[in-house]
Amino acid sequence: MDQMHELDLLNDKQYMIQPVSRFRQFELIISLLFSSFPFSMTKQTLSPKDIEELFNQACLLHEQGAIGEAVKEYKNLLSILPDFPQLHFNCGLALYDQQQYQEAEEHYRIAATLHPEDPDIHYNRGLNFRRLDQIQDAADSFEYAFQLGDHDLDTLYNLGLCYQDLAKFSQAELLYDSILEKDAKHTSTLNNYAYLCHKTGDIKKAEELYRRLLALNPEHQAARHMLDSLSGITPDTAPLDYVEAVFDNYAQNFEHSLVEELAYKTPQTIWKRYCSLFPHDQRDLCLDLGCGTGLAGEQFSPCCRRIVGVDISQKMLTIAAEKHLYDDLLKSDIVKYLSETRDSPDLIVAADVFTYLGDLTDIFQTCFQVIKEKGLFLFSVEESNSNNFKLKKTGRFGHSSDYIQDLSQKTGWTLRDQHLSNLRQENGKWITGNIFILEK
């Protein structure tokens, strides 16, 4: 993945603070509100006290986490008081908690129209817009809340995230600086500001912010990994928890970003190289290591009687499952899975997986141990200008051809094919790498 998009994976989405939904029980002066409504059958059957009790019960259910019941009660009240903004706001909050973001927006919109001067409505509407991936609308909502006097750090922070997503980097930087002036230990801002500087090429500032973040949280794996990438330090692998978080939070937009924006076709290239060497080949069992959303599975499932996908990200696996390509999908670290599996595949595929692994010795050995005789091991790696493997400034590993060839020989593999390929685009230019086919 190119530098800009690779760092987007590491952006606010996995390390941002939890959005603050400012749930509150508005002081409902039922008698005054009720007296202002036209006389109706409802007025004859429900007293102001009845409505107040219903509202309090709905709020209590909401606070206790009985969200579905709270939504039902809010909607019942809205059938009585359809133009009451606080009810629409509370209903929007509850629907947000249920991840019903589109329906929540309907209620936030009405609340904002009926009571445009309330910054809390605009703030929470902004959070909801982010969930809908309507980033410009989210920014507009946070800006409106700010103009109405909401200068809380949460509002500034979430607005900064929107500016960052909208590539309004200078505006995001101003907000992040403002937050850190007020709270120098605001770790979420340090995290995202560091990534922003990293992606825009302000390496000195990025290193400073990573170090400040690590001083506050020495266990922050993403910051440590990215600081290593800028400092020329190459570890053996990327931290597992970091990789899992990256792809869990990137899953929803993974294919759009990778395929449509970065012209990623590595699974297709691996498939074509395989077919050129083994036309009309059929395999009993394929292991798709780091299967992600199933892009390689789409290519290889027709030639395999069974195909099993393994990935560290549950959210990626959920999307892969929707394609109904795999006989089994397993959440696991691939090295751990290979060391424990009783399966004996005759085909192993790892497309764009080793960019998060530096030292491939364990992978090559365990794949060799589990695969059948004459089994094939297909994978891609990014090029490296070292004689070994190297952590690039993008936070991804590159592997030299010499390293792969030497390791293949040491672990017993026979090199059947090596093909230089354009893997994906970076700033309009191709990132090159190699496709390898090894045989036991």
Q: At residue 18, does pLDDT exceed 50?
A: no
User: What is the mean pLDDT of the segment spanning 368-375?
Assistant: 97
Tell the CATH topology of 252-439.
Rossmann fold (3.40.50)
Instruction: Please state, in angstroms and rounded to a whole number, the distance separating the CA atoms of residues 232 and 421.
Output: 26
Angle at 14 between CA 329 and CA 323, to 5 degrees: 25
User: What is the mean pLDDT of the segment spanning 265-288?
Assistant: 95
Q: At residue 68, does pLDDT exceed 50?
A: yes
H helices of 217-321, where? 221-231, 240-250, 254-255, 266-277, 295-300, 314-321
Instruction: Please state, in angstroms and rounded to a whole number, the distance separating the CA atoms of residues 202 and 216.
Output: 22
Q: Bridge-partner residues for 399, per DSSP?
A: 389
Which residues of the chain are in CATH 1.25.40.10 domains? 3-230
* pLDDT at residue 3 in the model: 34
199 pLDDT tier (thresholds 50, 70, 90): confident
Instruction: Please state, in angstroms and rounded to a whole number, the distance separating the CA atoms of residues 113 and 149.
Output: 18
What is the pLDDT of the chain when averaged over all its residues?
Answer: 88
For the segment 310-361, what is each residue's pLDDT rounded down to a tens digit? Answer: 999 999 999 999 999 999 999 999 999 999 999 999 999 999 999 999 999 9
Of 75-84, 139-148, 202-211, the least confident: 75-84
3-state secondary structure of 40: coil
Residue 386 burial (CB < 10 Å; 0-12/13-18/19+)? middle
Of 16-20, 48-52, 190-194, the least confident: 16-20
How many other C-beta atoms can be found within 10 angstroms of the C-beta atom of residue 440? 19
Tell the CATH topology of 3-230.
1.25.40
* pLDDT at residue 28 in the model: 43
- For the record, the structure tokens of 211 come out as 């170090």
For the segment 145-195, what is each residue's pLDDT rounded down to a tens digit? Answer: 999 999 999 999 999 999 999 999 999 999 999 999 999 999 999 999 999
Share of the chain above pLDDT 90, in %: 75
136 pLDDT tier (thresholds 50, 70, 90): very high
Q: At residue 26, does pLDDT exceed 50?
A: no
Which residues of the chain are in CATH 3.40.50.150 domains? 252-439
User: What is the mean pLDDT of the segment spanning 229-251?
Assistant: 90
* pLDDT at residue 45 in the model: 67
Q: Following DSSP, what letter does each residue of 119-140 receive, concatenated?
A: HHHHHHHHHHHHHTT-HHHHHH
Q: How far is CA 311 from CA 2, 117, 398, in A?
A: 21, 47, 20
- For the record, the structure tokens of 66 come out as 């009985």
Instruction: Please state, in angstroms and rounded to a whole number, the distance separating the CA atoms of residues 219 and 249.
Output: 20
One-letter identity of residue 91 = C
23 pLDDT tier (thresholds 50, 70, 90): very low
* pLDDT at residue 22 in the model: 52
